Amino acid sequence: MLRLYYYNESSPLMSNVLLQRLTHKHQSLRNFRYYDILVHIFVVVLLISNLVGSKICAIGPFRISGAQLLFPITYIFGDVFTEVYGYSGSRRAIWIGFYASGLMALMGFVTVHIPPAPDWPNQHAFEVVFNFVPRMVAASLVAFWCGEFANSYTLARMKLLTEGRWLWTRTVGSTVVGQAVDTTIVMFLAFGGTLPTKLILNLIGSGYLGKVLYEVLATPLTYLVVNFLKRTEGLDVYDSHTDFNPFSKEKPGEMDVAIVSQASEKTAVAGSD
């Protein structure tokens, strides 16, 4: 077992302490080549999903929101974070995405309500697009938080149960759980009272099936990414003693970290049989 430790930073403001606590990068995450860029891409995908989520698209008999075209990718990222970097790596990415979405919602609200310049003719169009964003993001924040943590927890637990084998069972199984939580919450919070219940249920069913199918079809790509990252980063994390509290910082010795040798034949299939 590799023992990893935090350093503590003090702050005079409680809000800063909470922010540092929830987004603090553990020492084990500082030496990785790709973790930070993956978190950045994850956050960008999340924010774009919130911006386009208000449009309802028709694909044959199915009705899906614009967000459902892109948002499932965040669950693939969640699977990669948990599988490669452990629950603590996923937990940090989720909180960063949560705060970024909250900031976007706040700025959307503020800019819509600031009086426009007299010679600027696009205020109505701006309101149509961005005035919905605060409610959409509020719904997305709750659903995203619950769904992503459910997804990460399920994958981490299944990895222990499968002893690191059969990656596809973890990626699909965690998506089945996480997307059920996310899709149900976001649809009722985002569209409740504005759309008929029957249409909302149609959105939930269509969106859920689409997201799970999305994950299944992306499984080969997930295998390639996970194997590449495990080889490159040189580790395979098992959350055998992890505190899964979303508000908790990682404690010393709570992870089992298998060091993956690049010269080993097992590297290409570590945790992904």
Please check whether residue 104 lies inside any domain of the structure.
yes
- pLDDT single digits (tens) 124-175: 888 877 776 667 778 878 998 999 999 999 999 999 999 899 999 999 999 9
**pLDDT at position 167, please?**
93
Please check whether residue 226 lies inside any domain of the structure.
yes
Please check whether residue 3 lies inside any domain of the structure.
no
**pLDDT at position 150, please?**
95
Please check whether residue 109 lies inside any domain of the structure.
yes
Whether 95 shows a pLDDT value over 80: the answer reads: yes
Please check whether residue 106 lies inside any domain of the structure.
yes
What's the CA gap between 249 and 69, in Å, rounded? 33
Structural domain boundaries enclosing 254: 14-269
Please check whether residue 9 lies inside any domain of the structure.
no
Please check whether residue 6 lies inside any domain of the structure.
no
Please check whether residue 176 lies inside any domain of the structure.
yes
Residue of higher predicted confidence among 220 and 135 = 220
Domain tally, the chain: 1
